Structure 1
Amino acid sequence: MRAARTVLGDVPAEDLGVCDAHDHLFFRSARLPGQELDDVAAATDEVRAFRALGGRTVVQWTPYGLGRRADALAEVSRAGDIHVIAATGLHQAVHYEPEVLREVRGRLDELFVEELTDGIRGGVRAGMIKVAGGFHGLDEHARSVMAAAARAHHATGAPIGVHHELGTASLDVLDLLCGRHGVPPERVILGHLNRFPDSRVHAEAGEAGAFLALDGPSRANHATDWRLFDLLAALVEAGHADRLLLGGDTTTAAARASTGGGPGMPYLLRVMRPRIVRDLGEDVAEKIFVANPARAFAVDWRR
């Protein structure tokens, strides 16, 4: 059975329902001082608001060492009556203290596989691997993390989600993960593509078979909605509607609907889904929010 690995256990792909394919319930980085996502009540309120609009699954891309709160994810999932998929993996080096990277260097394969199979904490298992590229390129840190992620994928079948700095270097990532390390492109999810609005590059990635994640509508400091719909339309016209994913990528407390500072997760279903239905059709909306996430995050788990 193809199943998505949630924090409460494996669920059939068809049970994922309407999905926020890239977001954060908990997140902490030295690059965002004072904006930590660490409030269990606020996270619960956020998912409840998303659930009230028909949402069923939230995929948290927060990887190892960035305050992903594995101890609280199951609590939020139960309280919000929503599926939560957690991540293992590693972000860019700049997000970590040097001692954290020294601690895990040399055992990334073991760490990723352990968190996907045995669990992160309290039996909560990760259901995807999060990695990150750099601005228009891949440094040695990114290459070593992606190599470990590829080996963990081959051991488990887990999908790999990629942070692209300002949306760049997506084809470099595919060359590395798929070309060099043999990861099937349909197991790769390319994130933040709307931040580099080159529809030709996106179409090439779609033709390769990768999933294309457009995200960040809660972040006013990034070009999102006003370009996002043009990008969606271009990719649909190019025949890639079955590759598209959408997420909120809420990374600061100020961007949450539950704190009053931003549209947050509910915005995806309150504003964006109706616009997609109106401009691109119900069939496209169903693919973006339901059918495509079911294929992207469900796995024939090997362990």
Structure 2
Amino acid sequence: MVSLVRTVLGDIPAGGLGICDAHDHLFLRSPRLPGQELDDPADAAVRLRAFRELGGRSVVQWTPYGLGRRPEELAALSRATGAHVVAATGLHQAVHYAPEMLGRLPEDLAELFTAEVTEGIGGTGIRAGLIKVAGAFHGIDAHARLTMTAAALAHHRTGAPIAVHLELGTAALEVLDRLCGALEVLPQHVILGHLGRSPDMAGQRDAAATGAYLAFDGPSRAHHGTDWRLPDDLAALADAGYAGQLLLGGDMTTPETPGMPYLLHRLRPRLEPALGKDVMDRILVRNPARAFALHRS
């Protein structure tokens, strides 16, 4: 059976993703980031075309429900540039939402997430291919427990993978205990984001040992140990046998972050000497094809 990835223009064979930015944002609006919105289709088109000119083929947008996804613009950009775009459903941390959007029951949220994967986002018919949730700093708060419960229910109904924002790279094992223990999601259907923001190499190896995917994203942020540490971190994980679980993303969340072109223009040339061409091909091409595929039971 052919593995499929659900893009904004429909399902495609997972092997057709090509070089993939595994975590980025073409559009994003949050009350936590006033004045720093990514909300300009023309700017998004420039960034996406630059990524395509560097050989990029696919972008997984982790912007979830209520944060300015603009699904119709995502579809138009995909058509105009020839890039595959995967959209997300799910919820981010509570701080990103007005109070009236919070406090829903897990089953209500699960129905919303399921509908956005199977029917479409906001009546557009443009379907999400990813469920995004978020942990808290060094733990899981009540909002995370609620959204993870809903995400797991929706995953079991749709087969869509679950992507998790780890706050400053922390609480990976707590997240996996919740999703893969109590909620019975297989680890290979979970993508952990922001692993590079924490220097805990032992924690990274423990998370990889479960079988989950590890996304190293948000490059070139001066307040995070990202670019300078990435070659050693990724090489150590690859040498330990986890090369098949590593992903890379640009995670452009504000206008001043470099985003998806930087991933291929600057970061890939730095990583390839440390990792080798085969491992880089796995990270950018083969691993995303498995990580973002719909998983049918």
TM-score range for the pair, normalised by the shorter chain length: over 0.9
Who is 1:266 aligned against? Answer: 261
2:199 aligned residue (181, 197, 200): 197
**Consecutive unaligned residues in structure 2, runs of 5 or more:** none
Counterparts of 2:296 and 2:26, CA distance in 1? 25
The residue aligned with 2:16 is 15
Amino acid at match of 1:135: F
Q: Distance in 2 between matches of 1:274 and 1:35?
A: 29
CA–CA distance in 1 between the matches of 2:268 and 2:12? 24
The match for 1:33 is 34
Aligned to 2:61: 60
Match of 1:171 in 2: 173
Aligned amino acid, residue 269 of structure 2: P
Q: 1:32 to 1:215 in 2, by over 3 A?
A: same
2:114 matches 1:113: yes
> Could you say which residue in structure 2 is the equivalent of 1:187?
189
> 1:86–1:127: 8 Å Cα contact kept in structure 2?
yes
| Preserved contact between residue 276 and residue 284 of structure 1 (Cα < 8 Å) | no
Shift of 1:103: 6.3
- Which residue number in structure 2 is paired with residue 258 of structure 1? none
1:217 counterpart SS class: coil
Which residue number corresponds to residue 152 of structure 2?
150
Distance 1:220 1:80 in 2: 31
Q: Write the mapping of 1:169-248 to structure 2, written as runs, cut at 5 A.
A: 169-248=171-250
Amino acid at match of 2:15: E
Identity of aligned residues (%): 64
Give the AA of the match of 2:23.
H
Give ranges in structure 1 of 5+ residues lacking alignment. Answer: 256-262
Q: Using a 3 Å threshold, how does the CA distance of structure 1 residues 13 and 64 change in structure 2: closer, same or farther? A: same
Task: Report the CA distance shift for 1:76/1:220 in structure 2 as closer, same or farther (over 3 A).
Answer: farther
What is the TM-score of this pair, normalised by structure 1?
Answer: 0.94
Supply the distance in 2 between the matched residues of 1:113 and 1:105 (Cα, whole angstroms).
Answer: 12
Instruction: Find the aligned partners of 1:104 and 1:222 in 2 and give their Cα distance.
Output: 35
Cα distance between partner residues in 1 of 2:42 and 2:110: 34
Once residues 93 and 106 of structure 1 are traced to their aligned partners in structure 2, the CA distance between those partners, rounded to angstroms, is 18
Tell me the equivalent position of 1:290: 285
Are residues 1:92 and 2:93 paired? yes
Distance in 2 separating the partners of 1:274 and 1:155: 40
Q: Deviations over 1:198-230 (max 9, x none)?
A: 111111111110000001014333221011222
- Between the aligned partners of 2:175 and 2:236, the Cα distance in structure 1 is 22
For residues 207 and 105 of structure 1, what CA distance do their matches in structure 2 show? 29
Q: Which moved more, 1:101-110 or 1:20-29?
A: 101-110
* Residues 221/79 of structure 1: CA separation in 2 closer, same or farther (3 Å cut): farther
Q: How many Å apart are 1:102 and its aligned residue? A: 4.4
Tell me how far apart the structure 2 counterparts of residues 105 and 299 of structure 1 sit (CA, whole Å): 22
Amino acid at match of 2:101: V
8 Å contact kept, 1:219–1:250: no
Deviation at 1:106, TM superposition (A): 5.3
Counterpart for residue 43 of structure 1: 44
Corresponding residue SS for 1:240 = helix
Which residue of the partner structure matches residue 259 of structure 1?
none
CA–CA distance in 2 between the matches of 1:111 and 1:102? 14
TM-score by length of 2: 0.96
Q: Which amino acid is the alignment partner of residue 70 of structure 2?
A: R
Q: Please, what is the CA RMSD of the aligned residues?
A: 1.3
Structure 1 letter corresponding to 2:225: A
Name the CA distance, whole Å, in 1 between partners of 2:223 and 2:116.
Answer: 33
